[in-house]
Each structure stands twice: as structure tokens, then as C-alpha cells.
């Protein structure tokens, strides 16, 4: 009879799977708690001690590490000498290994887990069983995930048995499983220090001494930033890939960057909000009474730049919003969901990409993280990788004007209307490439000076963008700067443009000079104490 060895920490679906194996003629060999669970379900189980002739010992540390087990897994069925050795030593072949490992990751995620208990969650026999079975995948099926149980039973029912490709795919999953496990152990132990009083774990943080990175390809992309560059989308194991395409052409590398930028800004707001992105910068953003109202106001903030842009919304797309979107040329749009009626309207623009988050909206926007993934961002440079904690803006501005670190540094206090506009401007400003100065009203951008070499240049670009709306387009506006004004000339330019209030981090050695300039212009100026560069 074929023989299956089962030893799992995750027992979901175990009994049903074991019943399926028994119904197909398998003897079931098992260990510890797995054996008890199967016996309680009425299944006949051969204990591992009956195979090895040794009891499970040392609190379960030693139970499967034995030639009578590993010989049965590693024997190559096409090698007469292997089979002769197995027969000579009374080794019964094992045809299927079902193992998932001790829950080390869950234990490590709990800062209250003592170091000694953490060490006991390091599996030894499990990885050895998995690796042995995966190495001999031509003859032995290895299963590390309950998600594969149904497929394994279906493959066993094939007239010729499981296909070779299926066996190999299970082996690849098995090696990935043990690889992730070992990487998690190494990363966790890197946070442990040894001292006279014993071992101590450092407080959890987003920038650990060791950062394991294992990514799984979701799909190839047409090309990268340019046609001669290959590109693909990857995701972390157990994470969602970000966006799910509902209609339109395949997403490109730059589409995905712009969609990410659009979603991040839209999710800064609890009220209906919309943004139009070009080259990861907003060319218009607004809030409104509804998604449609917010979108039209965002588009009209800079209608020339909005042509061919990427749209982000924080509300489901309804029919009214869909009609507004298809009235002009838009490359792609992302929203939390799309109403059924709206899908038909958007479908009239067959090439327009319509995407929704694959998972929680916060995950797709980068404002949160799936499962226990850290809130970090990675960027490759020549010879290394830069890692930083993610800049989450919306939590910092929620209690304005009473937020910690926030101070009005000018003689004149902002009016209630200016406070509303400053809150809006700061949330948008943080997502524009530095150096930036932007001008807004209470609920809509008016002009954006993005990615300039100086603050004065950023103001000039913003003013140039506003010219088409008239000479007084920025009169009565507020301005936001992602970093401090190093000289008063930038502040003078903001005042000349027509702004009445400005928000900036502060922190320049010439802050007093800049504050004096603001007082001369009767501007209200707020220091946040927090910079929001975006390179």
C-alpha cells in the first residue's frame, strides 16, 4: 500500500484530506498532535515510533530524524540499488509527505514571547522532511499548504497518477516554504542581543537588522519606463498585488506607478475626493459633494494637464461619475469599487484601464500593509537597497489646528477658512515631488509647482500654471511648501502670487527672516515641524 506521512502545525482541512488519502488506499503515518487529531476523527494511524522503533523524545525535539523515515522518502524508485538498500534495512517507502512547520512566525510576531519559547518554535525535523521529499519530487509528493489538498487528491485520481509538472510545482512551493521559514528565523534572531542577564529581543520596528525579501512574480509588464526595459510586477508572499484590472489594456510599469500615486492621495481624505495624476504628480485634486463633483473639480483645476491622466477616487464609481470620466480622454482610473451601471458606461472606452484594489483599499494605496508586513518602502540604488519607513500623512494632520508640533508663527492667526484650506493643501503637498510649492483653495488645488530646484522656481511654475485661469487666479489662496523656505524670496513670491496663508515645516536658520517677511505681507504662517520630501 502507498504510505503518507502527515505532521502539521496548521490542521485546517487535515482530517478531510487524510480521509481522502485513506479512501485511496494510503497507510497514514503521523506524529504527536497530528496523530491524535486523526485518531480522534476515527482514522487508523501508524505512529512514527512504530516506524522508527524509538519513542518521540526530548519534548518532541526528536521523532522523525531517522533513516527508516528519510530512507523511505529519499529512495529513488528508478534506482535498483536504492530499492535494494531499502529492502535490506527494512525501510518502507513513503510516497507522500504532508508537513507544515512550527508556527515560528506567529510566535515571533508577539513581542511577549520569551526567547526560550521562541527557540522551541524552530522546527528541525519538519524542514528536513520537506526538503527530502522535495528533492525526491519525481517519486514523492510533498504538500506544505492546506490549499493544495484538493488538487493533490484530484491528481492521485488520474489514471497515470500525478503529472510530473504538478509534482515539480509542489516541490518548488516546498523549497519556498522552508526558505521563508529560515529567513524569518534569521531576521528575528538578528534582533536578539546576548547579555549577562540572558537574551533580549529588541523592540519591533520597521527597519530590522535583517530584512528578508522574497517576491513572487504576478505578471510580466509590456515594458518598463521605456520600451527597451523589461519589467514585471511582483508581490510579497501572502500579500495582494495591489490592483485588479476590470477593463482595458494591460497595465504598464508607469501606469502602476501613477495608479499608486493617485490612490495614495485619494485615501488622504474621508470626504469624497478625486485626483488626476501625471507622471506621479497631481495636476489637480479636489473634494466635493460626491465622487462626480470631486472628479470634475479636480479635472478642471488643470484641464490641459488632465488630458490623458490617471484618476484616483476614494468612493465607488457610480453612473454619474463614469459619465464625467468618459467625457474626456483618461488613461486609467482607480476607485474602491465600480457600480454595475457604471461599468457599462466605462466600457464605452475600451482602451481605458479601470482598476480596483486587490485587497483592502489601504493596501493598494500603500497607506497600510497586508498581514504583518512592515510599513516600509524599498528602492534600489547602485550597489544596494534603500529602505525607509513609509510617510503616512493623514494621521499627522487630523487634529489641526491643535496637532502636536503645529504652531502659528506670525502675528496674524489663520481664519477658519484658511485653516480648512491649509489642511487640504498639506495633504496634497506631501505627495508632490520635491521641491514643491502648491496653491489651493479650501477643497481644490489651484496651481502646483512640482519638482523644482528652488522654492522660488516652484512658485514661478505654479504661477505659470495658473495664468490660464486669469491674473487673479491665486488671489486669496493658501500655499504649502514641503520643506522650509531657506530665504525670504520664496515667501515673497508666495505673497506676490496672492496667497493669504502658508504652511511649511519650518526649521531654517533664517526662519525669523521668513517670519518677518510673512508679517510684512500680513500672511498667516503655520509651521508643522514635519517635512514631507518625496524624491
β-sheet with 437-440: strand ranges across: 407-408, 524-527, 501-504, 478-481, 437-440, 445-449
Alpha carbon distance 361, 205 (integer Å): 24
Contacts of 58 (CB under 8 A, 6+ apart): none
Q: Could you tell me which of 478, 458, 457, 482 has the C-alpha nearest to residue 534?
A: 482
Contact 76, 82 (CB under 8 A): yes
Q: Would you say the C-alpha torsion 264, 268, 272, 277 has a positive or negative sign? A: negative
- Please name the helix (run of DSSP H) or strand (run of DSSP E) that holds residue 86, with its range, or none: helix 80-88
Q: Three-class SS of residue 142?
A: strand
- Reduced to 3 states (helix: H, G, I; strand: E, B; else coil), residue 318 is coil
What lies within 8 Å, CB to CB, of 31 at 6+ separation is 7, 47, 48, 56, 60, 63, 64
Query: What are the catalytic residues?
Result: 135, 279
Please work out, in degrees rounded to the nearest 5, the angle formed at the alpha carbon of residue 506 by the alpha carbons of 503 and 508.
140
Task: Name the grid cell of 17.
Answer: 484530506
- 220: cell is 510580466
334-371 burial, b at 16+ Cβ within 10 Å, e below that, comes to bbbebbeebeebbeebeebbbbbbbbebebbbbbbbbe
Amino acid at each position: 500500500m502507498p504510505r503518507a506521512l502527515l505532521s502539521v502545525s496548521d490542521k485546517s482541512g487535515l482530517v478531510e484530506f487524510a480521509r481522502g488519502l485513506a479512501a485511496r488506499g494510503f497507510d497514514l503515518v503521523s506524529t504527536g498532535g497530528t496523530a491524535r487529531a486523526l485518531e480522534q476523527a476515527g482514522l487508523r494511524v501508524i505512529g512514527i515510533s512504530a516506524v522508527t522503533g524509538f519513542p518521540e523524545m526530548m519534548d518532541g525535539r526528536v521523532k522523525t530524524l531517522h533513516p527508516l523515515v528519510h530512507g523511505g522518502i529519499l529512495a529513488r524508485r528508478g534506482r535498483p540499488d536504492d530499492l535494494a538498500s531499502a529492502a535490506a534495512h527494512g525501510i518502507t517507502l513513503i510516497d507522500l509527505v504532508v508537513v507544515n512547520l512550527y508556527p515560528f512566525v506567529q510566535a515571533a510576531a508577539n513581542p511577549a514571547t520569551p526567547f526560550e519559547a521562541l527557540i522551541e518554535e524552530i522546527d528541525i525535523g519538519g524542514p528536513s522532511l520537506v526538503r527530502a521529499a522535495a528533492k525526491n519530487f519525481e517519486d514523492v509528493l510533498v504538500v506544505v499548504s492546506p490549499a493544495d489538498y484538493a488538487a493533490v487528491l484530484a491528481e492521485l485520481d488520474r489514471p497515470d497518477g500525478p503529472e510530473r509538472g504538478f509534482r515539480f510545482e509542489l516541490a518548488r512551493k516546498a523549497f519556498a516554504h522552508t526558505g521563508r521559514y529560515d529567513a524569518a528565523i534569521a531576521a528575528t534572531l538578528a534582533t536578539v542581543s546576548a547579555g549577562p542577564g540572558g537574551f533580549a529581543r529588541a523592540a519591533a520596528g520597521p527597519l530590522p537588522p535583517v530584512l528578508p525579501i522574497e517576491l513572487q512574480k504576478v505578471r510580466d509588464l509590456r515594458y518598463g519606463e521605456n520600451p527597451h526595459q523589461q519589467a514585471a510586477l511582483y508581490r510579497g508572499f501572502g500579500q495582494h498585488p495591489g490592483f485588479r484590472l476590470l477593463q482595458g489594456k494591460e497595465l504598464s510599469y508607469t501606469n502602476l506607478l501613477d495608479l499608486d500615486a493617485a490612490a495614495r492621495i485619494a485615501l488622504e481624505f474621508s470626504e469624497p475626493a478625486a485626483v488626476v495624476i501625471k507622471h506621479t504628480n497631481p495636476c489637480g485634486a479636489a473634494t466635493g459633494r460626491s465622487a462626480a463633483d470631486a472628479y470634475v473639480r479636480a479635472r478642471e483645476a488643470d484641464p490641459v494637464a488632465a488630458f490623458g491622466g490617471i484618476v484616483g477616487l476614494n468612493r465607488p464609481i457610480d453612473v454619474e461619475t463614469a459619465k464625467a470620466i468618459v467625457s474626456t480622454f483618461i488613461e486609467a482610473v482607480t476607485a474602491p469599487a465600480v457600480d454595475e451601471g457604471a461599468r457599462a458606461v466605462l466600457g464605452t472606452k475600451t482602451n481605458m484601464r479601470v482598476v480596483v484594489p486587490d485587497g483592502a483599499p489601504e493596501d493598494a494605496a500603500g497607506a497600510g500593509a497586508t498581514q504583518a508586513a512592515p510599513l516600509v518602502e524599498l528602492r534600489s540604488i547602485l550597489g544596494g537597497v534603500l529602505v525607509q519607513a513609509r510617510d503616512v500623512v493623514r494621521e499627522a494632520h487630523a487634529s489641526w489646528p491643535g496637532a502636536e508640533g503645529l504652531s502659528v508663527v506670525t502675528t496674524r492667526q489663520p481664519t477658519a477658512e484658511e485653516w480648512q484650506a491649509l489642511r487640504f493643501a498639506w495633504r496634497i503637498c506631501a505627495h508632490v515631488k520635491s521641491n514643491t510649492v502648491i496653491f489651493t483653495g479650501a477643497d481644490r488645488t489651484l496651481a502646483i509647482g512640482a519638482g523644482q530646484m528652488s522654492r522660488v522656481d516652484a512658485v514661478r511654475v505654479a504661477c505659470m500654471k495658473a495664468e490660464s485661469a486669469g491674473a487673479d487666479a491665486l488671489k486669496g489662496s493658501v500655499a504649502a511648501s514641503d520643506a522650509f523656505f531657506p530665504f525670504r524670496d520664496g515667501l515673497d513670491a508666495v505673497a506676490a502670487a496672492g496667497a493669504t496663508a502658508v504652511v511649511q515645516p519650518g526649521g531654517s536658520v533664517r526662519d525669523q527672516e521668513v517670519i518677518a517677511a510673512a508679517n510684512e505681507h500680513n500672511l498667516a504662517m503655520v509651521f508643522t515641524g514635519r517635512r514631507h520630501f518625496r524624491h
